[in-house]
Amino acid sequence: MIELIQLDEVDSTLTEAERRVRGGLRTSVVLCAQRQTRSYGRHGRWWDSPRGNLYWTAILFPDSSWPSDFGLTFASGLAVADTLRTLGFEQNRVRLKWPNDCLLDAGKVSGILLESGEISTPPSVKYILVGIGVNVTSAPLQTFYPATSILQAGIAPELSIVRDILTQSFLTRMGEWKQHGFNGWYDSYTSLLDGIGSTVQVATDRDRKNVMTGIHLGIDRSGALLLQTDAGEVHKITAGDVLGHAAS
């Protein structure tokens, strides 16, 4: 198990996590907050964090036995999907948008951000922060990708229940990854992957100016997205964001 620390209000659980590591914390813990006043997602994009939703960050200290692939990113998305199914949603309502966004009824229900760093002051230590936000009672409006919440989808769980299920699901998926690497649940991940076989748009930069269009062929064993262009070329994309299905 892992210690869970429940907070009322912070600027960001990710920011608070880094403060604690730099302040001397050396034990893996999970931080949760009722509200965030300055939360951020990928590429530093700011977003609203009202009460009623889940704001969750795991502080991890990897060692040399951990796999060197990017599987922890995918493990996080799978943990959210596991949480939704445990709450009672049918599998066909829960999908994953590469690399780790979880969709519920085609709306984005969570956001995930991983950060890593190293404290150089002897003894040096490496750390990983896994930040997960889940829309439990409300979803932001006017987002680039349509958003939804667990409540909007028809289930009204206690926030603490969602927190505890997510924590256990994450620990389970992380344990599988540490033991088997990404290949340990390649099939589980691809079975939930949204958009395979359809034409999608993928942004490969933070400003969404470099966009590729092609047929979504799934992922390879390293987790890279495989995109086939009209010219028949298959591109391996290791970092990016699936924007959605391309207009026909």
DSSP for 152-214 reads TTT----HHHHHHHHHHHHHHHHHHHHHH-GGGGHHHHHHHBTTTTSEEEEE-STTS-SEEEE
Q: Which CATH number is correct for 199-245, 3.30.70.270, 2.102.10.10, 2.30.30.100, 2.120.10.70?
A: 2.30.30.100
Would you state the torsion angle of the CA atoms of residues 94, 99, 101, 106, taken in this order, to the nearest 10 degrees?
-50
> Span 173-178, mean pLDDT?
94
Distance CA 159, CA 216 (A): 35
- Residues 6 or more apart whose CB falls under 8 angstroms from that of 237 comprise 202, 204, 212, 224, 225, 226, 227
Pick the CATH number of 3-192 from 3.30.930.10, 3.40.640.10, 3.40.50.410, 3.30.70.100: 3.30.930.10
Rounded mean pLDDT, 121-137: 94
| Delimiting residues of CATH 2.30.30.100 domain(s) in the chain | 199-245
* Percent with pLDDT over 70 in the chain: 95
Q: What is the pLDDT of residue 122?
A: 81
Specify the domain boundaries for CATH 3.30.930.10 within the chain: 3-192
Half-sphere exposure of 87 (CA within 13 A, CB side): 29
**Which pLDDT band holds residue 16 (cuts at 50, 70, 90)?**
very high
Task: Tell me the whole-structure pTM to 2 decimals.
Answer: 0.93
Identify residue 62 by its one-letter amino acid code: P
Give the mean pLDDT of 100-124.
93
Average per-residue pLDDT for the chain? 92
pLDDT at 39 over 60: yes
> Which of 30-39, 153-162, 204-213 has maximum average pLDDT?
153-162
Residue 47: band (very low, low, confident or very high) from pLDDT cuts 50, 70, 90 = low
Residue 174 near residue 62, CB atoms below 8 Å? no
DSSP state at residue 246: P
Token code pair at residue 128: 């990983």
